[in-house]
Structure formats: structure tokens, C-alpha cells
Structure 1
Amino acid sequence: MIFLKRYLILFILLIYISLVNAASFDVEVVPIDDRIAIDEFAKFQIEIKNNLGQADEYRIYNSNFPTWDVRTDPIVNPITLELEPGEKGSLELIVDPLKIKDIGTYAVNLNVRTKVLNQLKSAPLKVTVLSIEGLIGGYVPTVVTSVSIPEKIDPREEVPIKIVLNNQNIIDYEELVIKLGSNLIKDTVVTKLGPKEEKTLELIVNLDPLTFPQEDTLMVTVLREDKSIINPIARKIKIIEYGDLKVVSESKNFLVTKSNYKFVSNNPDYAGSFKIETTLFGSIFSSENPKAKVIKEDDKKYFVWDVELENNKMDVVVTKNILPLVFVIVLLIGLVFSYYIFRVPLIIRKESSSLVKSEGGVSEMSVILHIKNRAKSKIKDIEITETIPSIVSIERDISIGALQPTKVLRHEKRGTTIVKWSINHLDVSEERVLSYKIKTKLSILGDFSLPAATAVFKYEGKTLTTVSSRLHVVN
């Protein structure tokens, strides 16, 4: 009984393993071009189906290298294929007879190995060589070629292209033609390549700076007697968009600087803006055509324009004109000069002091007059006149040391009092102080003001008059 159970378990396990191995994946080879000349390439399509219940990766490789080379176009190394559960996928393979010298049918062993179960299956690729006319001295032309070119290209700059030719056998190529072709690049190079020689060709291609942003594919082929001896090499390239601002010219005249700028892009629909650094002074005294916005970034000021291209360019003119500033400065200097020339040589400053309050208002105060000569020569025959309103009265007693009034007159109709002082002369920068006391008839509530004082005097043979400001008393 135990023997039967063990036998049954072993039998089930063997069936499971055989089912897994049988159903892991399927490989099928479909010939596309399996009959070739010795210098041509065969093509096959390999189809793989994933029979597992999970995703798997399949690695495809050739066990007959270096007699045969199996690759993809473009070249991918390693050659792999990822499939989801139940998915079927395919790859196109190129088979290259590297060291075949005779006509006949050959079986190239292709291996497929899974990643999940590490299972291996082999699929023969049957290739028939019909002709060996392409042999040179009994050898198949084999020139390993590599091409390098920048993937992203600025059309304003030179485009470097590097081509490396590696002769794998002893054939002496007296003339090889390398052709480069794309929508934007077309060139041909003729060179020699000796037996087992490796040669590097470096080319420089110049594009139109206004080449529109686009993607392109550069194809490189190597020809001998108008026949390709390599599988064409493809390289993807991309022309990038740019925006370039340049100073076209700058002219400087008296107080005026005119700068001409040109913004150029290879995209006529360029969307964006550009800026030119300026200063606070420059932003005030500059005019722009077209008009710009002024912004501040990192404590710096800039003129900013929104790009509007015409024929891939936009012209901008910035004119800095400080003539108005110079005019204002000259005007201010003239005004100051005129002020000092035509200003009144005698000034009167009127102020109050010693305020006495009663019943919440001002009842008594002193009025002080400062008389000063600010001219550059002597002032003579100075007569100062003060008009005191009827709501106040002047104290007759003047403090000792103060200049006494020459006249005190009362205007009966108006009720005002007129006080006059006479000063014989004032020397340059000399100042006299006049003072008197007044009393109010009633306490004055709130703020009030007293009339301005006037002075009549003689200066440089002329009789002039000056007036002080009104005295405002804040209660």
C-alpha cells in the first residue's frame, strides 16, 4: 500500500514536470529572407509565446559566433523579449555570415532561455548561401563600424560626427565610401582601410542656424564598389529650440546712449520672454521700443519683453537719455542761485514765549522779534512795525536791555495798536532781538494768531520791505 502511494506521488510529479516543461513557452522561426549571397544578410522572424501564468523574460543569443552573427536592427545587446502571461511577441533578426567561404545550406543555432524557470530551447535558423562572389580574396568583407553624434543638436553650433571603421580581416580596401543621409545632413566621405586597420573619421557639419526644432534619423552606410558591406547604422537626433539675445549696436552721443538688440529663435512660434539688466537710474531715464515691463529679481532690475517674432527675429531699441535730468539739475542750480541773488537781505522771525494761562485760556505772553542781516553788506535805516489786534493790549514796561519802541500809536476806529522800532544799521550777519509783552482782555481759549511784522530799510541805495510770518499760538 505504501509502495503504491509513493509510486502515485512520483507519477503525478513527473506528469507535472513534463507539463511545465512542455507548456512553459513556444518558439517558432519564420524565414523572411533565408537565401543570400555571401556578402548579404539573412532575415528571420522569431515568435515566442508565454504559456506561464506570470510574466517572463526571454534572452535570445547565438552559439555559432564568430562564424555567424545574429543581431537586431538597431543593434540591441543583449537581445531580450518580455511577455505577459499568455502573450505572444516577435522579433526580427539579421543573420550575418562572418566566416563562411562556400556555398551551401547552413543551420545557425539560436538559443532562447527563460528568466523565471531558466529553461533553454534551441531553434535552428537555416540559411542558404547561393553565391560567394562577394568574397574578396576568400574573405567576407567585415568592417565593424560605429557612429557617434550628439543626440541633441543646437543648430547654431557645429555638429561633430565621429565614425570608427575596424577592418576585421586582411582585406585591403583601397576605396571605401561612407554615406551619411538624413533630412538635414547629407555628406559623403571617401577613405582607405588597410588589413586589420582601425581608422577614426571626424566630420564637422554646419546646419542653418534657423533650422526648425525637429527629430531626425541619420543613416550611415559603408560602400565598396557601390555595394554596402555593413548593415546601415541609424542614429536618432533632435534639433532643440533656442532663443538668443544679442547686442547689434550701441551708439553714444552727448548724454544719450542708444542700444539695439536682436532676439532670434529657430522657432517662429517661440513662446516666452527675454530680459535685459538695467538699474534704477536706467529704468527711470530710458525709453524702450517696443515698450518693456520693469521687474525686480534678486535685487536687480530688468527690462522684460514678451516675444513676438517676425521672420524668426524681434528687434528692440533701448535709449537712455539723461538730458532731462541735466536740465532739471541746471534749473535747480539756477533757482538756488536766483534765490540767493534776489532774496530779501533782511529777515524777521516772530515767536512767542512765557505764556501765562488763566481760566483755561491764554491771558499773557511775550512776543519776540529776531531781526537779522543775511546780506553781504550793511543795512541802514531799519524801521520795524508791529500791529497788535484789539483783543490784546501791550504792556508799557519794556524789560531792561531791550530796544525801546520809538512809537506806540493806537488806532481808535479799529482798536489796534501800532508799535514801531528804529534801528540805525545792521552789519553783515548781525542780529537784533526785540520783545514786548501783551495781555488779553479775556482769556483766549483755543489756538489763535497774531499779524505779521513788517520792516522798511535801505540796502545798496534802495528802499526795501520785508514781512515776517504770522505768529500762530497753540493753546
Structure 2
Amino acid sequence: MKRLLVFSVFAVFLLLATVSAGNLEIESISKGDIVIREANNPAYFDLVIDNKGNADTFEIYSFVGVTFSPRGTFDLPTGKSTVEIGAFLGEDLRQTSGALIIEYEIRGQDTGITKGNLQITVIGAEDLFSLKGEDVVYGDESVKVILKNRKDVTLPDVNVKLDSPFFTYEEETSFQPLEEKELEISFNKNITGFYADSYNIGGEINFVDASTSVEGSFNYVEEESSSSNKEGSGFLVRTVLLEKVNEGNVNTKIELKVTRNVLTRLFTTFDVEPENVERRGLFIHYAWTGNLKPGEKISVVATTNYTFPFILILLIIIAIVIIRHVFVVKTLSVKKRVSLVKTKGGEFALKVVLHVKSKKHLTGVRLVDKLPGATKLYEKFGRRPDEIDEASRTLRWNIANISKGEQRVFSYVIYSKLRVVGRFELPSAYAIFEEDGEQKTVQSNRTSFASESVSSDY
């Protein structure tokens, strides 16, 4: 039954497409038999006409609200000719929908009238296009949108405008019959706050004198993604900002962690109380959690004040230095005194006395002093130093043994032919010795002489 129906429809179409009357045999071939209601575009056909008679002048017309191009008359020679015609439907016919059978007549001046039929389909602009977007994954840089011309009609000069929450797009293009275009549209991957879902694509398409809207959709595929950021500032008061952002498109449980040791935890505060505190050995682990929507973030500011431990460490170091210094001084001390010596020739002369006292028995002690500039050693006074280095102006005494509580005194005289005015500074003396296998050095006090006074120590 179905085969019989299909054969019947095909036979009717052949009868419509091929007409034979008098001297003319006409075959109509569709070159675009679709008329868009809003665009007033013609349907195009090629009429293959076999003129079996003499050459003649013809005119094509219709009485059912259709006009044809070419307008006016045209010549047909004897034999086969192909004439391209355009059929323009009147207003009433364009308001219909579906297939129409249009009767036309070709009249020759000498040949007479030949009738034929054309099948024309009327559609609305809303039936022309379909729109569909492919799936988009978080982080994609573009989205593919398929825009298809669903009808067997050529569409030149088409303006396409598409819009969605994620992108906007506009392009001038054209469509061949049944053509499918794949549009690669830049996707705003930095957009946040949108859930995984199906999102609409709205479109407006303008061509010739017509316009229509088109709708489609694409799927924003579920994707969990987060980013971390850490910023620190300050030295003694160290402030650290830690944050995590839900950059995905689904609600995500995100955890933020901070670790401090048993000492630094005493000086650390948080702007938000931790939800969980866990101790593992010498470290304390703090944790915050949040069920974040797309685009939301969780942040914590940790402030560690190192001022108190810094001061404490500094005081300990100072105490160690003082204790060590006191300990060394108690082991061996060197004191230096100076006094003016009157000379017969009126030269400037000073007597220097060095006192070395030990709190314990020591061996191999070396006492070292240095002559001030512009002065000379008066070698006829006191015990001559064991070593005199004239290049470095250094005096050395070697003390082989010194008992606990024993004090040794060394003195010498220096003089200068230059007159001294004001304050005269003398360098500090020092002693070098070994204690418990370690070499140590202890300095004397600094000494100076004022020309108007006897001596001064400090």
C-alpha cells in the first residue's frame, strides 16, 4: 500500500513537471522552490522548452496571484531552450504555509497557449534555522555552536547575532541550501559564579528584509576546581593571608590548613577561630572548612608576633656575653695606669704601669702593649720588655707562670720631644693566655693623660 502511494505521488510530480501541448514540450526543474514568507523571495526554476514548431515570441503569466521574471516577452527558437524564471507570490499566497501548485500559461504570438504547473513551498523565517551548542568544560577557551540552514534555499547576506551568559557573538555570513556552519566562539573562562547546568543561547538572524529569532542551548559540564593564594608581610610581626577560591561550577567542600610548632603557636593569633586543632608531635595543625559556591572563597589571616621571643633571645645573648666577660675577668685581669714624669730637659714623658692579676694558676701568659704615636721607649727605666717590635711599635712580656691570686707589675717610661697639648690617649694593653685548651684574650682599661692634670683612667 505504501509503495503504491509513493508511486502515485511521484507520478503526479512528473505530470506537473513535464507539460506537452501543441508545439511546446516543457519540463520544469527546481532551482529553489522555497519562498520565505517574510522575505518575499522568488522561487526559481529552469524551464526546458522543446519548441517543435517555428521560432516565436512568448510570454509567461499566471492568473492565481503570481508574477514571473523575466517580465514581458522572450524569443524561443526551434528546438530545445532553457529559460530561467523567477516566481513571485502575491501577498495572499505568501500567508499560506506548505506546498502550493501554481498554474502558469505560456502564450506565443503564433503558437497559442500552453499551460503548466509549478510546485512552490511557503515557509516562515522561524522554520529556517536550528541552533545547538556542544558541551563546555570549565576552563575551555571556546565553545562550538552549530547553526544549520534546515531548508533547500540559498541565503546570502545573513547577519547572525548570538548571546548567552558566557559570550556574545556577531558575524556576517551566507548559507547554501541545507548548509551547517560550526561557529567557534570565544568563551569567557574567567567568569565565576555559574553552576554546572544547561544554558540557553539566544539568537537573532537578519537576511534580506526578514528577521527571525533562534534558540539553542549548551551544557556546562560539572567540574571541581580550586586555587590557593598565600601572601605574607612584616618581620617581627609576621602577617600571612591564606585563601582558597572555588573556581569550579559546583558547590565544593574546601579545607584550609595552617601549621605552627609548639613555640610559634604561643605567639600566633587568627582572625577566624579554627574549626579543628590537632597536635602531632612538635607541630600543631589548624583547619578551617567551608562549603563554597562557585566563585566564593575562604580566607584566614594568621598573625605571629615575634617581638617577645626576639627580645628574650637578645637578652639571653647579652647575658651570655656578660657572664663570659665576667668569667674571663675573674680568671685574669689587666689594669693600666699612667702618670707624668718630670725630665731635666723638659721633654714630655709618661710612666706606664701594668698590673696583671690572676684568679687561678696559669702558664704561658703573654702581655702586650703598644707605644702611642710620636713617642719612644726610655729603655733605661724598669725591666726591658722581652720583645720590642719597632715596626708595629709593640712591646711584649712573657709570663711563664702566674699563681692563683698573684699580681705582677710591669712599668716603662715613654717620652716625646713634641709638646703635648690637651688630652693624650694611650692604647689598651691586653694579655693572651690558654685556659682549658682554649686561647683567650683579656684587655685592660683605656687610659689617657691631660696635659694640665696628673692622670685619668676610665
Q: With structure 2 as the length reference, what TM-score do the two structures score? A: 0.36
* Higher Cα Rg, which structure: 2
